[in-house]
Amino acid sequence: MKMKPHLHGKRGADLLHDPLLNKGQAFTEAERDALGLRGLLPPHVATQDEQVAKILETVRRKPTDLERYIYLISLQERNENLFYRLVTDNVTEMMPLIYTPTVGLACQRYAFIFRRPRGLFISLRDRGRVKQILQNWPHDDVRMIVVTDGERILGLGDLGANGMGIPVGKLSLYTACAGVMPDQCLPVMLDAGTDNAAFLADANYIGTKARRERGPAYDALVAEFVDSVQEIFPRACVQFEDFGNANAFRLLQHYRDKVCCFNDDIQGTAGVTLAGVCSALRLNGGTLANQRFLFLGAGEAGIGIGDLIVEALKAEGVTEEAARRQCWYVDSKGLVVSSRTDLAPHKRRFAHHHPGVDSLSAAVEALKPTMLIGVSGMPQTFTEPIVRAMAKFNQRPVIFALSNPTSKAECTAEQAYTWTDGRAIFASGSPFPDFVLHGRTFKPGQGNNSYIFPGVGLGIICSQAKRVTDEMFFVAAKVLASMVTEQDLAQGRIYPDLQRIREVSANIATAVARVAFQRGLTDMLCPEDLASRVRSQMYEPTYPNFV
């Protein structure tokens, strides 16, 4: 779908300063005359392809990834069509720059790279006027909102208002990977303070300089925000992103049956991991019912993955109790077992009867898992003895080091392959380069949520679903796994090539929308050709003709 060229009376410099309408040197001779642009642009009329080639060369000449990020965000702020054309055509190269791992460093340095407002900042001092703040947003047909409070940014912890880079980056992927219209996306930062002492002492920190609010005032701000969204943007889906564990689970539980919302850290991570598990089973010849999963990390991602694995096992006829017993967790205190009295509520359903074990290595030896999944944010915790033990128990050990950014990964692809003599089935959250061992080239799989959440969001938008269900993530995982080719598997890759991401997203969106229609979660009538309907709604970043 091409963006409709609604000029709203804009001409000349005003037109050039609107990133949704600006074409830069690609304005034609006729457009320059008709729209008062003559003389405001260099004489040469460039094609979009020429612009992309020049931008790509400029990006590659930048000395660091952070400089590349800053340059790309600046491009997005002045010419969205060109930005998305560049990213869509070069998604494998651009995604690590506009999102993880570079976005983590960008958030840490956000005070110094913040140029133009992008999204809405809502703080505790704004209570009572959140609706008015939402009305300040210049676009009135918002369909996807990504909101964070900045408490748990990737594996980097509490970054407060600097975490705004995450909603901005996520929504860029909604557009680049699934064709969600840019003007239907809204990033939001709920600034409830920060417990980051360095930021509180930093004169350049952009957020509220106060300790993080955790009481009734926080809940009231979230409630006012959610209620105001229902009034101002009634067709919007709210994605909760990078909230701390204490709030993430309870907010999802509180709102999931009341409004159209989901938590990507819990549900999206679960979907992409389940897809990787299914692909791994194609490589090792196992069945889901015969697996034993050991997680390092029992937070949002880990518990979310376990819950979805349980649903997948139940679909294969395994009882819920037996399914849960296939999932084991190690947290900062050791193995999660029923005798522990210090467990948060979200961990208790996976607390099994077993002697206490105080370390991951001891848990691996005691449980002999078939799949080891890292979602801890603790780098280099999959040590050589642990990975070698996995290889001792399994002919094809599954090692998922999913923590982001790259600096937080539990082990590297090179380590996993080397310590298992090339037998590991490996995936990571952030990208690792190809690795050659014994003359064989391995292409590590990246279990990136961008394989899941953009397609889920597109399906919600296309069906105008009123709620988001776990079944939607279950079908999304199945679609994603089905798109892994034999060639992918032969190269050690358990996810499709990222260059196919828009095809993946379209198929996931179709499956998600079908769930919405089948379950009566929408007032729309299901189109006769749902797949074609979904594809027709996808934004294509090509320039409109204004005259």
Active-site residue list: 99, 170
Q: Which residues contact 262 (CB under 8 A, 6 or more apart)?
A: 237, 239, 240, 252, 256, 268, 456, 468, 473
Location of structure tokens 């680049």: 176
Strand residues in 85-171 grouped as ranges (E): 120-123, 144-148
Location of structure tokens 């947003």: 137
Which backbone phi and psi does 121 adopt, to 5 degrees? Answer: -100, 125
Q: Which residues contact 471 (CB under 8 A, 6 or more apart)?
A: 515, 519
Q: Which residues contact 305 (CB under 8 A, 6 or more apart)?
A: 269, 270, 273, 274, 295, 373, 375
Q: How far apart are CA 52 and CA 54, in angstroms?
A: 5
Q: Which residues contact 284 (CB under 8 A, 6 or more apart)?
A: 370, 394, 395, 396, 398, 425
Which backbone phi and psi does 402 adopt, to 5 degrees? Answer: -95, -5
Cβ atoms of residues 209 and 200 within 8 Å: yes
Q: How far apart are CA 396 and CA 387, in angstroms?
A: 11
User: Beta strands 440-442 and 435-437: pairing type?
Assistant: antiparallel
Report helix, strand or coil for 468.
coil
Q: How far apart are CA 487 and CA 473, in angstroms?
A: 25
Annotate 152-190 with b (16+ C-beta within 10 A) or e (fewer): bbbbbebbbbbbbbbbbbbbbbbbbbbbbbbbbbbbbbb
End-to-end CA distance of the chain: 19
**Signed CA dihedral, 471, 476, 479, 485: sign only:** negative
